[in-house]
Chain A
């Protein structure tokens, strides 16, 4: 059980300088990554993707197809890595589990009444327990944004701690849904709460609200992870999700992670992209660097 919520321990005395953040991000975005470095970077991006389908219209067939894709990204070009994980609703975990037998691709399940989080404590616990029982390797929970914005930080903290207790050794990613948090200061506060309450990963968004994973919020969250690491030596993972649909943006994110947190975070154990269409764009870029021609979506799998 996590320690009780003590604001002075959880909240750092940091207020975010938005202009400064934007200036630093502009510098990450001006890096030129070419040739071999780009090629290796793109392979790393592929290996960090949580291939995601979180739609009301998801069917077992869709999930099976996505799980196949997770293991066979583009068979026309052998030697590519697989993605890190697939990310599905709890009701689809069993299907994903059966489709991924014998592969190293993990199964992440959203829970706690994703995406709104508007349900009772009991339902959220059951939701999480169900996903784990079905075979989920990782749980992606959402925080109660309404309570957070109302200033009930202890409620948010206790909820995360309770879900972490259900998870046990199953890794827990905590979604802040930064599109609903109006300032970077609040993003930082929510990150601090999640980290202290027991999150293994902090994640930007559900993908259902715009804006999602902007570089500004990812930067702010990475800084929270860095400060925590500097203080305690404990590593926390980061997962930007939603809105990262092209290779260039993904590479800029990697640059940012490397420069803030260092090489230790450059693996799918500590950094993930939550995305549905990013994989195809990365594959098209890799094929472009292989044969020199710009590619067409017609020759890659449908997401």
Chain B
């Protein structure tokens, strides 16, 4: 017997329905219902941020090598469910070839960031020459809870490409899936759930971006926000970010491009901590310390 999947949201390592009890129907080109999807409210945003904040301590302090292993595990799990993602992508309008390419690219991208997890800190940190008796060095620390607004025109690769660098850096995520193409986001949450990722590290909500985004952008406990160009929502979102000086980052890329991945996407969501350690002699470039 053919049964239809219930697409639920992902908060704190569980798959609840939206607190609001609302849903919207996802139609195919013939007007037939493909799935009922949760129409989340601002209270779901609140719950997701609470879960993400709670998870941040554990994830941010985990050893970089272990984070790398878990990220790689996500790629393994996604690989094992290729067929399901391809089916969902074709259901949402991709051709078979496009769908296969997108899933492969998503797996490659996850492996790329899995590799960076225990390397970016040493590559992006520095020892700084200063004109006083100090050994001065700068190192990176995760920012905290990062809001991710997935690209509107991508079901899988956009979300994956935005979430992975944030996660790689030790942040936790509250993600808003594409309103028109939400299916892969929910299935990706199921992949995350089976990848040893601690509950709450990534939370994924579905529904209307214009309804949830103002709450997420103004939330004092969210430290950064990443999205593509939001059109008319750009300015109100930027203004809402002001109160707690949220780092707002816009990236518009062709995520299917091989080059749409780099170290900067990780370091954008890092704070730099500089330490002035007193030493006897002025130095920094010699072995005087």
Chain A contact residues, CB within 8 Å of chain B? 292-299
- Interface assignment of B254: CB less than 8 Å from any CB of chain A: no
Minimum Cβ distance to chain A for residue B213 (Å) = 13
Task: Please name all residues of chain B whose beta carbon is closer than 8 Å to the beta carbon of A294 when the two chains form the complex.
Answer: 45-46, 49, 215, 218-221
Within 8 A of A (CB), among B198-220: 215, 218-220
Minimum Cβ distance to chain B for residue A263 (Å) = 31
Q: Which residue of A lies closest to B217 (CB)?
A: A293
Please indicate which of the listed interface residues A295, A296, A297, A299 has the most CB atoms of chain B within 10 Å of its own CB: A296
Q: Tell me the complex Cα distance, A292–B240, Å.
A: 11
Question: Is A292 in contact with B218, judged by CB distance below 8 angstroms?
Answer: yes
The dominant DSSP class at the A interface is loop
Minimum Cβ distance to chain A for residue B219 (Å) = 5
Task: Please name all residues of chain B whose beta carbon is closer than 8 Å to the beta carbon of A296 when the two chains form the complex.
Answer: 219-221, 244
Question: Which 6 residue pairs across A and B have the least CB separation, nearest first?
Answer: A296-B221, A296-B220, A293-B218, A294-B219, A295-B220, A294-B46
User: Per-position contact with A for B102-143: 1 when CB-CB < 8 Å, else 0?
Assistant: 000000000000000000000000000000000000000000
Q: Tell me the complex Cα distance, A295–B218, Å.
A: 9
- New contact pairs (4) apart from A293-B218, A294-B215, CB-CB < 8 Å: A293-B220, A294-B46, A295-B220, A298-B221
Within 8 A of A (CB), among B210-247: 215, 218-221, 243-244
Please indicate which of the listed interface residues A294, A298, A299 has the most CB atoms of chain B within 10 Å of its own CB: A294
Q: What are 16 A-B contacts with C-beta separation under 8 Å?
A: A292-B218, A293-B218, A293-B219, A294-B219, A294-B220, A295-B220, A295-B221, A296-B219, A296-B220, A296-B221, A296-B244, A297-B221, A298-B221, A298-B244, A299-B220, A299-B244
Q: Which residue of B lies closest to A299 (CB)?
A: B220
Task: Please name all residues of chain A whose beta carbon is closer than 8 Å to the beta carbon of B46 when the two chains form the complex.
Answer: 294
Question: Is A293 in contact with B243, judged by CB distance below 8 angstroms?
Answer: yes
Minimum Cβ distance to chain B for residue A44 (Å) = 23
Minimum Cβ distance to chain A for residue B211 (Å) = 15
Within 8 A of A (CB), among B49-83: 49
Q: Tell me the complex Cα distance, A299–B243, Å.
A: 11
Minimum Cβ distance to chain A for residue B54 (Å) = 11
Q: Which residue of A lies closest to B244 (CB)?
A: A296
Task: Please name all residues of chain A whose beta carbon is closer than 8 Å to the beta carbon of B215 when the two chains form the complex.
Answer: 294
Q: Which residue of A lies closest to B240 (CB)?
A: A293
Q: Tell me the complex Cα distance, A292–B219, Å.
A: 9
Minimum Cβ distance to chain B for residue A12 (Å) = 41
Minimum Cβ distance to chain A for residue B235 (Å) = 18
Q: Tell me the complex Cα distance, A296–B46, Å.
A: 11
Task: Please name all residues of chain B whose beta carbon is closer than 8 Å to the beta carbon of A293 when the two chains form the complex.
Answer: 218-220, 243
Q: Which residue of A lies closest to B219 (CB)?
A: A294
Q: Which residue of A lies closest to B43 (CB)?
A: A294
User: Per-position contact with A for B238-268: 1 when CB-CB < 8 Å, else 0?
Assistant: 0000011000000000000000000000000
